[in-house]
Structure 1
């Protein structure tokens, strides 16, 4: 199964449908990515629609990974930062559908995001995760683990989960 990664500058209805399906799949699979059960495709679509203006304005760099069926993964960078942090971006919502995991899609999305960050003049990226699988990916890709905040968030069905913070110094490569 082949996959391609593309940057999305304008969110179409089709993009929003695909992104909503990815988000819904991940939340239903137990990912702690900011949403609680019950979670609907309407809520997922509304969340992506809420980002559309920032994507179109270039405040966020949004990437999707697609296979022959459609969108299977996504990640975005928050490029717009406070005045005292113009060198930094936040990497957010690195999501891959359960059916498409372990195929290199996460790594391809991370590579695209890092290249875009460099092109935008960013030298430092930060992220947080509650996924041990994602932690292994980030470590493999050269991210530095800062530490764990116990009980930082909730799992979608309730119960506290820890969150691990990472950073990536883009001047090192």
Structure 2
């Protein structure tokens, strides 16, 4: 696989790349990933969803990284920052997506590592996420040092509408030494 570049997107970059981001989102849903959408996910809905993230990027409550391969976006990961005073030490990892053509290449691990590094650099000490129980993503999180916290039954629907359990994970991230 050629070199992959991970870039933290600005709101302007998100808007400029909204078509590629929408294609990635629809590919991920079509591939069966339970990331909040039901299939079939039409392009217009995917474009609108990504456009709706721009204000959060501008305000700093959301950070999104895009992975580029040969000039094309093939993956993303997001950090959703807490907005309450008692939780500003943590963030949620969300929407880790890898295009089906790029799966199995280590791209998901690279994106996750980029989000973890940025969280540590921002002084965050705790990350959390949820993922469909028994999904391929679970092995990624476990092998990356995430701790399983528990399972919530019937938490979310798969893209085909089936109710599935979700596993909650967390990870402490060390703040870099000065």
TM-score class normalised by the smaller sequence: over 0.9
Residue 141 of structure 1 pairs with residue 139 of structure 2 = no
CA distance change for structure 1 residues 118 and 15 in 2, over 3 Å: closer, same or farther? same
**Hey, what does 1:97 align to over in structure 2?**
99
Written as runs of structure 1 = structure 2, the 5 A alignment for 1:29-44 is 29-44=31-46
Match in the other structure for 1:2: 3
Q: Write the deviation string for residues 86-139 of structure 1: whole angstroms up to 9, x where unpaired.
A: 101011000001110011110110111011111211000000001621111111
Give the match for residue 30 of structure 2: 28
Residue 75 of structure 1, CA deviation: 0.4
Q: What's the TM-score, normalizing by structure 2?
A: 0.92
What is the distance in 2 between the residues matched to 1:136 and 1:172? 25
**Residue 135 of structure 2 corresponds to which residue in structure 1?**
132
Equivalent in the alignment of 1:51: 53
RMSD (Å) for aligned C-alpha atoms: 1.6
* Total equivalences in the alignment: 173
- Regions of 4+ moved over 4 Å: none
